[in-house]
């Protein structure tokens, strides 16, 4: 996979000081280990998210477009994104600018690159899509140093990775993360609520309702025997962390059930130092202990 | 109170509002799919009815539109291919424009967010949460303390913020 170049849009959450910073750092480390070079878009700004779009739609697109223009100036036809909300809003901006002639003409004057041939080729890629469809099974498997044997891992996708557009997987029952989990040796377990919304920003305004929704989600994870939960969205991640301390026991889950980004888990199986991945010692020990137990149990059966 | 009619709403979000008015078969799939519908005063299907009947003012006053988290489960399931999540977004924007939701929490959150983006080009989630909490209920911050300590220990929480260098480009 050597020689693949993409520009990288971290977005506020996954950047240096964001709550999803380890989603960012672990993704960069994993891609590097796979020989992929990503270059951060210089001086990027807010993606112009759904929140902004409610207040001022046009300006939300203008915010999004500045990032797109900066990526194009780097002469790279693909932008890699981690945060599902950024992924959705950059894609929406791209669609809007491509189809709205008036807006496009206005923007061409501001950014030359908007009229360039590269613009029509530009794709916004989510890291899950890139790992599953471009890097692929063999390259990932080849890089695994520590198989996550015996680990029952459940993925929580949240809503906006695949909706509303379903760019790279089924909008309701995607399976990309389960495939990745099995490539690194884990045993994927699936909750039927894996793409149910976590409530997002409503956690700040309607806490009670949102906690009720998350309780249902956590129960469904307990039902399928999840021992580790992996996430792919900084906001879902934060909400699950908030809810976990209060609700896991009620939902029938271990109160310390580790919730980590799927890229942290991949990095762990690649033997990337846990400091770089942002995995705590306690979680790393838990992962190691579980793997050791499985290996020992298998030894007894075979011996 | 302003009297708002369908045409004004159509001007705001022409395509999605028109599709909903013309194509909805009132099957209720959106309401059944919505993770938050049980807490809404009107279900998503009923909001379509209100708008279709021209009861725009009633639709804009509902709690429903502010409980929509734009998760788009309704959108991918609707047999008439109506994007109800987007429909709600248009209603939200229209409500704000007509200025009768100033005391609701969610609009306050959005405004705080927009202020940050306009000022720095980016946001810091912890700072946004604090500023928002101070605006609405400072005691909420105390409640968040235990979790904040945990996140601080895990090295996840930071109050630093990198601003955009060429801010004039963002502002223009
Ligand atoms: S799912 Fe679609 S057709 Fe059915 S009630 Fe909702 S908007 Fe109408
Ligand atoms: S997009 Fe809004 S209305 Fe539709 S299912 Fe999600 S929360 Fe409910």
In this complex, is the C-beta atom of A192 within 8 Å of any C-beta atom belonging to chain B? no
Helix axes B44-52, B84-97, angle to 10 degrees: 60
- Residues from chain A that touch B85, judged by Cβ atoms under 8 A, are 164
Q: Residue B155's pLDDT is what?
A: 66
pLDDT digits (tens, 9 = 90+) for B28-42: 999 999 999 999 999
Tell how far the Cα of A162 is from the centroid of ligand 2, in angstroms: 14
State the pLDDT confidence band at B142, using cuts at 50, 70 and 90.
Answer: low
Q: Whose CA is nearest to atom 6 of ligand 1?
A: B30
- Nearest chain A CA: its distance from B81 CA (Å): 11
Centroid of ligand 2 to alpha carbon of B97 (angstroms)? 22
Overall pTM surpassing 0.90 (yes/no): yes
Q: Which of A267, A232, A279, A234 is nearest to A32 (CA)?
A: A267
- Considering only alpha carbons, which residue of chain B is nearest residue A244? B147
Closest C-alpha to A298, from A136, A143, A140, A150:
A150
Show residues of chain A in contact with B98, CB under 8 Å: none
Which chain A residues are within 8 Å of B117, Cβ to Cβ? 45-46, 52, 63
Q: Which of B35, B123, B165 sits opposite A46 (nearest CB)?
A: B123
Residue A1 has a pLDDT of: 45
Q: Closest-CA residue in chain A for B72?
A: A164
Complete domains list, chain B, with CATH: 6-97 (1.10.1060.10), 105-171 (no CATH)
Nearest CB neighbour to A163, from listed B66, B76, B154: B76
Is any atom of ligand 2 closer than 6 Å to the C-beta of B76? no
The closest residue, in CA terms, to atom 5 on ligand 2 is B34
Which of ligand 2's atoms lies nearest the C-alpha of B64? Answer: 3
Query: What is the DSSP code (8-state) at residue B164?
Result: P
Ligand 1 atom nearest to B45, measured from its CA: 5
CA B42 – ligand 1 centroid, Å: 14
Domains present along chain A, CATH in parentheses: 7-129 (1.20.1050), 136-302 (3.40.50.11810)
ipTM, two decimals, is: 0.91
**SS3 letters across chain A:** CCCEEEEEECHHHHCCCCCCHHHHHHHHHHHHHCCEEEEECCCCCCCCCHHHHHHCHHHHHHHHHHHHHHHHHCCCCEEEECCHHHHHHHHHHHHHHHHCHHHHHHHHHHCHHHHCHHHHHCEEEEHHHHHHHHHHHHHHHHHCCCCCCCCEEEEECCCCCCCCCCCCCCCCCCCHHHHHHHHCCCEEECCCCCCCCCCCCHHHHCHHHHHHHHHHHHHHHHHCCCCEEEECCHHHHHHHHHHHHHHHHHHCCCCCCCEEEHHHHHHHHCCCCHHHHCCCHHHHHHHHHHHHHHHHHHHHHHC
The residue with greater pLDDT, A298 or B83, is B83
Atom of ligand 1 nearest to the CA of B25: 3
In the numeric block, which tokens belong to residue A95?
A: 């669609």
pLDDT one digit per residue (tens) for chain A, 303 residues? 445 789 999 999 999 888 899 999 999 999 999 999 999 999 999 998 888 999 999 999 999 999 999 999 999 999 999 999 999 999 999 999 999 999 999 999 999 899 899 999 999 999 999 999 999 999 999 999 999 998 999 999 999 999 998 889 999 999 999 999 999 999 999 999 999 999 998 988 898 999 999 999 999 999 999 999 999 999 999 999 989 888 888 888 888 899 999 999 999 999 999 999 999 999 999 999 999 999 888 877 765
* Helix or strand holding residue B143 (H, E): helix B139-153
The CA-based dihedral angle spanning residues B17, B22, B26, B28, taken in that order and rounded to the nearest 10 degrees: -40
Whether the predicted pLDDT of B95 surpasses 60:
yes
How many angstroms separate the Cα of B5 from the Cα of each of A138, A254, B13, B15?
59, 53, 13, 16
Considering only the C-alpha atoms of chain A, give the largest distance between any 2 of them, rounded to a whole number of Å. Answer: 73
C-beta of B100 in contact with ligand 2 (< 6 A): no
Does residue B68 line the site of ligand 2, with CB under 6 A?
Answer: yes
Q: According to the model, what pLDDT value does residue B167 have?
A: 79
* CB within 8 Å of A268: residues ≥ 6 apart: A146, A148, A274, A277, A279, A284, A287
């Amino acid at each position: 996979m050597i020689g693949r170049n993409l520009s990288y849009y971290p977005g506020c959450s996954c950047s240096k000081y964001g709550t999803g910073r380890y989603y960012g750092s672990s993704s960069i480390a994993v891609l590097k280990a796979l020989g992929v070079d990503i270059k951060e878009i210089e001086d990027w700004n807010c993606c112009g998210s759904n929140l902004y779009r409610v207040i001022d739609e046009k300006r939300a697109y203008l915010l999004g477009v500045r990032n797109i223009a900066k990526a194009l100036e780097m002469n790279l036809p693909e932008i890699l994104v981690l945060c599902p909300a950024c992924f959705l809003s950059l894609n929406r901006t791209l669609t809007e600018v491509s189809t709205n002639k008036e807006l496009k003409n206005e923007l061409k004057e501001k950014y030359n690159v908007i009229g360039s041939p590269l613009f029509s080729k530009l794709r916004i890629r989510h890291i899950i899509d890139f790992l599953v469809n471009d890097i692929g099974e063999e390259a990932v498997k080849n890089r695994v140093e520590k198989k996550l044997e015996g680990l029952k891992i459940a993925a929580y996708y949240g809503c906006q990775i695949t909706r509303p557009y379903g760019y790279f997987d089924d909008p309701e029952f995607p399976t990309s993360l389960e495939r990745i989990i099995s490539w690194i040796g884990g045993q994927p377990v699936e909750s039927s609520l894996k793409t149910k919304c976590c409530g997002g920003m409503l956690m700040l305004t309607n806490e009670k309702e949102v906690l009720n929704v998350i309780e249902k989600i956590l129960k469904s994870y307990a039902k399928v025997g999840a021992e580790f939960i992996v996430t792919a969205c900084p906001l879902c991640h934060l909400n699950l962390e908030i809810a976990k301390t209060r609700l896991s026991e009620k939902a029938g889950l271990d109160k310390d059930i580790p919730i980590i980004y799927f890229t942290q888990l991949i990095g762990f199986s690649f033997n990337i130092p846990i400091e770089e991945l942002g995995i705590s010692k306690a979680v790393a020990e838990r992962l190691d202990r579980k793997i050791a137990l499985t290996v020992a149990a298998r030894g007894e059966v075979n011996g | 109170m302003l009297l708002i009619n369908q045409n004004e709403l159509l001007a705001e979000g022409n395509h999605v509002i028109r599709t909903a008015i013309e194509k909805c078969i009132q099957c209720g799939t959106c309401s059944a799919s919505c993770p938050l519908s049980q807490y809404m005063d009107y279900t998503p299907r009923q909001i379509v009815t209100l708008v279709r009947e021209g009861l725009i003012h009633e639709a804009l006053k509902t709690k429903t539109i502010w409980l929509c988290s734009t998760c788009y489960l309704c959108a991918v399931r609707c047999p008439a291919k109506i994007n109800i999540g987007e429909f709600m977004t248009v209603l939200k924007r229209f409500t704000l424009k007509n200025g009768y939701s100033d005391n609701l929490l969610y609009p306050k959150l959005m405004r705080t967010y927009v202020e940050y983006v306009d000022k720095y080009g980016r946001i810091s989630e912890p700072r946004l949460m604090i500023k928002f909490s101070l605006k609405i209920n400072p005691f909420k911050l105390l409640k968040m303390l235990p979790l904040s300590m945990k996140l601080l220990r895990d090295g996840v929480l930071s109050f630093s913020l990198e601003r955009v260098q060429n801010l004039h480009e963002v502002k223009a």
